[in-house]
């Protein structure tokens, strides 16, 4: 029994929006320098600014020390005062050049040439990374905190709610829903199995406000032969993903969420959040986005 629990713990697969630090990879190191561009785009802004500031200071400290090792090569800098050489390096690196300090010797001219070349390359690199981070497409899609299962028209329906948080619509939206379960093989090992849950409508041309992907739990559904206790034992999740095209940028966007069966409400439905005003305008009440109500 203990071995069974240990095996299941190793195979735990939760698709909530947790950080990458929650996953421990054994035998596969994630070295930042092996994929610098990817890491520069995926780390948080605080860490990105910290690395950029640290690199900026390190370069100027290095060149400030090199200038200081060549006394008399920088006019206007006081001998033995590292701050003067450091700020001369800053002026050279940023191509400001106030004119109070200037290289006068061959060694200083050589160092300035190297620093100017490196400074232009680093400035262009950091500028490109900042632009790429701002320009990276990201869907501001909000998913409901819970999934609901209700009976409508004699059929059992499983649904979640998703909404576009931007004013501009998302075009050509494709939605997929899967049942994810931890399945025991005859040899005792566990594998993660993904069963597609067919949606009543999986493609919509425009996502302007809110949309509820709907799955019918009928004879063809993988859910029809499973009860809640079995699904919880299998650590089952309902995974919902969407892809679309941002109307403003024309770039593809992606969003996803996962719902464990402890977040599934039976005989509930989502409250209405879209209403028409007397003046013809439409209101969308996002304050009630996650609210549900029990069915009679």
What is the pTM assigned to this prediction? Answer: 0.66
Question: What stretches in the chain show pLDDT beneath 50?
Answer: 1-3, 5-20
Strand pairing category for 214-216 and 74-75: unpaired
Per-residue pLDDT, 151? 85
pLDDT at 205: 94
> Among 180, 192, 194, which Cα is nearest to 231's?
180
Return the CATH number of 139-294, one of 2.60.40.420, 1.10.150.530, 2.30.30.280, 2.60.40.1400. Answer: 2.60.40.1400
Contacts of 153 (CB under 8 A, 6+ apart): none
What's the start-to-end Cα distance of the chain, in Å? 42
Q: Are 155 and 216 in contact (CB under 8 A)?
A: yes
Q: Which of 213, 269, 282, 274 is nearest to 241 (CA)?
A: 213
Each residue's pLDDT tens digit, 32-79: 566 788 888 888 889 889 989 999 999 999 999 999 988 888 888 888
pLDDT of residue 159: 92
HSE-CB for 209 with a 13 A CA cutoff? 10
Q: Are strands 141-143 and 162-164 parallel, antiparallel or unpaired?
A: antiparallel
Maximum C-alpha span of the chain: 92
Q: What is the pLDDT of residue 218?
A: 87
Fold for the domain defined by 32-135: Helix Hairpins (1.10.287)
Report how far residue 200's alpha carbon sits from residue 222's, in angstroms, rounded to the nearest whole number: 15
Helix (H) / strand (E) containing 59 = helix 45-68
* 178 CB-side CA count, 13 A: 14
What pLDDT does 58 receive? 93
Beta bridge pairs of residue 36: none
* Domain chopping of the chain, boundaries: 32-135, 139-294
Q: Characterize 91-126 residue by residue with b for buried, 16 or more Cβ atoms within 10 angstroms of its Cβ, and e for exposed.
A: bbbeeeeeeebbbeeebbeebbeebeeebeeeeeeb
Query: Rounded to an integer, what distance in angstroms lies between the CA atom of residue 101 and that of residue 68?
Result: 13
Predicted local distance difference test score (pLDDT) of residue 66: 92
What's the pLDDT at 32? 59
**pLDDT reported for residue 261:** 84
pLDDT recorded at residue 21:
52
Check residue 250 and give left, alpha or beta (phi > 0: left; psi -120 to 50: alpha): left
Residue closest to 18 by CA, chosen among 235, 257, 261: 257
């Amino acid at each position: 029994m203990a071995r069974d629990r240990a095996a299941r713990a190793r195979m735990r697969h939760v698709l909530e929006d947790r950080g990458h630090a929650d996953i421990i990879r054994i035998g596969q190191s994630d070295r930042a320098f092996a994929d610098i561009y990817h890491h520069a785009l995926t780390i948080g802004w605080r860490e990105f600014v910290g690395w950029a500031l640290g690199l900026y200071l390190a370069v100027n400290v290095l060149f400030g020390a090199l200038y200081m090792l060549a006394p008399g090569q920088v006019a206007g800098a006081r001998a033995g005062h590292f701050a003067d050489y450091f700020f001369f390096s800053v002026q050279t690196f940023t191509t400001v050049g106030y004119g109070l300090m200037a290289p006068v010797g061959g060694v200083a001219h050589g160092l300035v040439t190297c620093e100017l070349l490196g400074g232009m390359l680093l400035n262009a690199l950091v500028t490109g990374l900042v632009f790429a981070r701002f320009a990276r497409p990201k869907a501001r899609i909000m998913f409901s905190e819970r999934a609901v299962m209700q009976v409508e028209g004699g059929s059992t329906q499983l649904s979640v709610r998703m909404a576009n948080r931007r004013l501009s619509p998302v075009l050509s939206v494709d939605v997929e829903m899967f049942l994810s379960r931890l399945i025991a093989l005859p040899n005792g090992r566990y594998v993660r199995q993904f069963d597609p849950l067919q949606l009543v409508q999986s493609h919509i041309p425009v996502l302007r406000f809110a949309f509820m992907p709907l799955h019918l739990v009928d004879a063809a559904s993988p859910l029809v032969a499973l009860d809640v206790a079995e699904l919880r034992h299998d650590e089952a999740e309902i995974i919902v993903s969407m892809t679309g095209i941002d109307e403003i940028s024309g770039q593809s966007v992606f969003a996803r969420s996962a719902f464990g069966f402890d977040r599934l409400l039976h005989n509930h439905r989502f409250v209405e959040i879209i209403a028409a005003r007397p003046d013809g305008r439409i209101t969308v009440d996002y304050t009630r986005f996650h609210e549900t109500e029990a069915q009679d």
